[in-house]
Structure formats: structure tokens, C-alpha cells
Amino acid sequence: MSFDLRLLLIILLPGWARPQSQPQPQPQLPDHVTRHMNRNVDPCRDFYKHACGKWASAHAGMGYRSAVGQLDFNYHEQLADLLEQPLTADQDEPRFVGLVRDYYAACRANHTVVQAMEVLARIIRKPSTSLEDLTVGLNTAFRVNILLDLHGSEMTELWVTLILRHIEDWDERETRRDAMTRGEFDRLWEHFPAAELEDKESFWRNVTTVEEFLLEHGEGEELAVLKGPPAFWMLPWPARLPDLWHFKRMLMVLTIHPAQFLLRYIYLRLSLIPDPASCQPWAIESNDCALQARELLGHPVVWLMEQHHPRLREDPVLQGLFGELKHRFGQKLRANRNQFSARVQAFLLAKLDRMLLRLSVLPQRGDKVSAIAEHYQHLRLNASDYFGNMLQLLDHHEAAGKRSPSFEERKGWLPIDRQNYGSFASPFFLPRANMLVVPLSLLDSRLYERGQADLLTYSTLGFILGHELTHGFGFHEVGRSQRGHLHPGVARELGRNQAFRRAKDCVADRFGPKHSEEKLADAMGLELSYSAYFDEAETDRSRNRSGTGTPEQRQLFFLNLAQFFCSSERHSDWRSYHGSDRRRVNDAMKAFPPFQEAFGCPAALRPKRKPCRLY
């Protein structure tokens, strides 16, 4: 074909120039699926946008930024409603529930700058400063409504969060933005609570150095991401918005200084406010207070919620589904495409057979009340001392972590750790216990309703359970036995297996070493859940399979699964090992032939390389 004719065809027939998906039957979809879809986006080109293109607008201003975050939001809303209700005379609750109520009540009360300075004074009098002190100090000084994540996070990222924080209706008169003068410093030093712990002149030199750096700015273009001065930012701020060079310099200065100096310096800056008592008190929203209570008093909160929102009766449903997924994975192990030795194959099958699923982070046997009560027996909280309670609880967790054995070794007492496991509602796999744990908050009505269509259950819960099951057989944990112990001989043999090494290199090359474990789990979770629903096996639960082979049913399976990961485009956590929500959905679907078939994707839009397969 001549160049001119090709160009004419492109102009007259724009669809000719690139392959298009074949029109597929439009399935009869539930309203909760269609309201989030953007049908104008080709599913074969960007399935995430096709499935989630209208999610952000449908949930704008709702207090969460992802479908998974919605589960946590709903849970905290239920907890807040429960804690807002006064106890009746005939109600008898364990003492640890009273701790939750005291913390929540103190959190919901009005807070003042005077109270903030009092708790900061207590902290800066200490001869040394812990991570817990810094957490409370920064939350207190900057009036942050949620606990700042100092657990395993870089301080640079923390300061970025605080500097980018912008609130429209705060009173700028409550802060000081210019440098501190020597006269002001001398006056404040007379009443400075930590004066006897610092050399005055050395401290002043550090103050002037920090403030010079903070007020200096470059000549480049102002950062558009900064809408204005950060909210409740009492540190010096330049007259014009910083450029990128100065922004990085600010972060460097705030990051390299020790926590002890920063907290003492921040106390002095707060003292510059002419009349702290005249500052408007502030309140924290009920959901945020419930979130904090769950972070700091996790097991008492879960116990309380289980008394009022029992979902443990759903355990047989999950156990049945988990059994089907284990059977499907066992078929793969027995097929032995990697040609493992008989010893390794028996080792993996025994591990799969002993793998457990537990619903709820609390043990379902034994005396839960006594165990929780013992853990919190020495803790006393004050229903009117919010900042003090926060400090007490953070210190309590630090001390308990040092003296208690590993959660995974105890098995019956499992962690509630948002920072380590993502969302509170996220299930997780404990390698040393060979156990998959599903928090009850995952079974929210947005994701799971009793008696809902099996397709909806398999496409979301099936995928999630299959994903976590796979973590037990991923590159890092596959060498652990059925009892969670590392088996050096099996680990060495797996490391020498050529097919295993090729699969590991394939995933790392395609997605990077950081994401390889999660990408493998996504691919296998999708394959297992799809197979468990659409392919018959002798272990399947008794259910009606009529209509399960239609294109409409297959499309609904993939759409419902993808919408579990819907989120705001701006809510992509680049630090996550899962990668962005969009990439997570699209990478899994593109590598799965049944998806391509369900949506009639043309050959030109299908991946040229074969999927990376470990089993």
C-alpha cells in the first residue's frame, strides 16, 4: 500500500489505523457496578479506567479516597456511633472498654493551644526524646487530626505532609511567620521549661541557623503544589512561596535536626503567639477519634465491635471458599510443572494442607477478655486529657513490644497494625504461623452481604484469599514449612531449580524486584478465584452454576474485582509494594487470557510476552 493511500485511510477512517476491541454484549450489571464505570474507555486498553473511571466523582467529599479505605471509614463510623451512645445502668463492660471510651471522649472534647503547650512542656523537660514523644509533639503542635505515621516512615515524608497541608478557614493570627528576635528569645527563655537542660547560647545559634535556612528562598518558579502557607505552621515561612530548590532545602533542615531540638524549638515558636488563650479551640471529627482509638487500643476496639456487629457466622462461607482455592492450588503443585523433587513437592503439599484461615484478629478459643485485660491492666486514661492519653498509649505500646514475644509465635494474639498491613480491613498472611487472617471489617456490606450472588463473592473475596494464600508460596516464604519454620534444605533446592529461578527473574525483570512478590500474588489470586468459580471441581461447594459460562457473567466477574481497587487518581501510594491501583488491575488483567477473551480484545492489544508463571 502506498504512503498516500495509507495516509488517506487514516484521515477518512481513523479506526483503521489501530486495532479496536470487538463490540461485546453489554452485560446486565448491578447499579453498584455501573455507577463507577466509564464505558467510553476501551477495557482492553485501560481496564482500570473502564471499571473505575467514575469512582472518584461518585465518592467526592466522602472522607475516604479508595474503595478499600471506604471499608475502614464505615468501620470507624460504626465505632463512633457506638461510643457516642451512653451506657445504660444494666450494661457491664470490661475495664478495657472503658479505656476506649475515655480516649474517645477526650479526643472529642475541644482542644486549646494552652493545653497543647502544657503537654509539650512535659515532653521537652525529658532528658531524652523518643519516637513516641515526637509523634505526640507534632500532632499537638500542628493540630493534626490523625496520628502522624512515624512508624517506619522517613522524616522527610512526614515534613512534606505537614508543609503541603492546607486548610481554608484557619486564623493566620494564631501563628508567627517571621524570624524570632534576640529580645524575644531572651524573654521566652526566662520561662522556658527546658532551660536548665540546654546551653542558652548554643541553642540560640541553632535557632538562628534553622530560621535563616527556612526563610531563604531561590529565584526559581514557585511550586504550584503549594496553595499557600501550611495550616497552623508556626515556623518561619518565606514571603513568597518556595521554589523546588528551597523546598528541598527546608526539608533537609527539618529532617537533620534531632527530635529533641525540634520539639523545644517548636515550643518556643508557639510561645510567640501573643495570647494563646485567645486562640480558637478546635475539635476532632468523630471518625478520626474512632480511628485513633482503633490504632492505639486495637484489641479492645475489635472486642467491642464484635459484641455489637458480629460477622463470625460468615466463617463457614470463607472456610468453604478457602478450601476450594487450596484445592485449585494443590492441583498446580501436583502437576509439578517446575519438576520439583518428590521431597520438595511433598513439603509444599503438606504446607498447603496445614495452612489455616482465621476470621478476626482475636482468637476464637480461650478467654479473650482475660487476655486483653491483662495486657492493659496497668494503663489508666483520663477522659479529659487527650494529649496525655496519646502519650501514655504510645509509651505503653513501645514497652509492650519490647517485653512481649512475637505475635506470630503466640498465634492466638495477632497484630492490629495499619502501618505494617495497609488498611485495617486488609487480610494478611503470617508466615511463621502459616495462617491467613481476615479482619472482620473486611466483611462490610460494600464488599460482602450474606446471601449475595456467588459471582460477587468469588471475584472479590476469592481473589483476596487467593492472593494471600500465594504469599505462603512466593519467592521469600516458600521455604517455610507447614509449621512456619524455615527449611534450609528445601530453600537451597528451590534456589537451584531452573524453572523457579526463571519465573523469579521474569517477574523481577517485568515489574522490578520491589513489586515482584505482590505481582505474583495478584496473578495467582486472579487465576485461582476465576478457576474456582467458572471451572468445576469435585471439591466445589454445592451451588447453581447455570449461566456461569456466558460472556456477561465473565465480564461482571472482572469488573467487580477491579472495583475493589478503585481510588482517587491522586491517592496512589508510590511507597506501596503493590504499586498503583491502576497498574495493579491492568497488569493482572493483561496477563490473563480469559480476560482478553471475555472482552474480545484483538490480538494486537494482547501482550506479546507470555505471563510469568511460578506454578
In this prediction, residue 417 carries a pLDDT of 56
Co-location of 265 and 397 in the same domain: no
Q: What is the pTM of this model?
A: 0.85
- Identify any residues that bridge with 111 across adjacent strands, giving them in sequence order: 282
Report d(CA 236, CA 213) in Å as an integer: 9
Q: Is residue 296 assigned to a domain?
A: yes
Mean pLDDT for all residues in the chain: 85
* Structure confidence by residue, pLDDT tens digits, 580-590: 899 999 999 99
State the chain's maximal CA–CA distance in angstroms: 90
Q: Is residue 136 assigned to a domain?
A: yes
Confidence of residue 15 (pLDDT cuts 50, 70, 90): very low
Among 246, 264, 282, residue at a domain's last position: 282
Domain total of the chain? 2
Co-location of 158 and 204 in the same domain: yes
Co-location of 214 and 187 in the same domain: yes
Q: Which domain holds residue 303?
A: 68-109+286-309+377-413
Residue type, 588: A
In this prediction, residue 5 carries a pLDDT of 38
Report d(CA 107, CA 607) in Å as an integer: 52
* Structure confidence by residue, pLDDT tens digits, 204-230: 999 999 999 998 876 778 888 888 888
Beta strands in 186-298 (DSSP E): none
Q: Is residue 517 assigned to a domain?
A: no
Co-location of 203 and 218 in the same domain: yes
CA distances from 575 to 249, 398, 514, 585 (A): 22, 25, 10, 17
Q: Is residue 538 assigned to a domain?
A: no
pLDDT (mean) for 132-146: 87
The full DSSP string for 457-508 is: HIIIIIHHHHHHHHHTTSTTTTTB-TTS-B-HHHHHHHHH-HHHHHHHHHHH
Q: Is residue 523 assigned to a domain?
A: no
Report d(CA 494, CA 500) in Å as an integer: 7
Report d(CA 171, CA 89) in Å as an integer: 43
Question: Do the beta carbons of residue 66 and residue 571 sit within 8 Å?
Answer: yes
Co-location of 102 and 117 in the same domain: no
Lowest mean pLDDT, pick from 228-237, 410-419, 522-531: 410-419
* Structure confidence by residue, pLDDT tens digits, 339-370: 899 999 999 999 999 999 998 888 777 788 88
Co-location of 186 and 274 in the same domain: yes
Q: Is residue 481 assigned to a domain?
A: no
Among 245, 267, 282, residue at a domain's last position: 282
Co-location of 198 and 258 in the same domain: yes
Report d(CA 238, CA 214) in Å as an integer: 7
In this prediction, residue 19 carries a pLDDT of 44
C-alpha closest to that of 394 among 139, 63, 114: 139
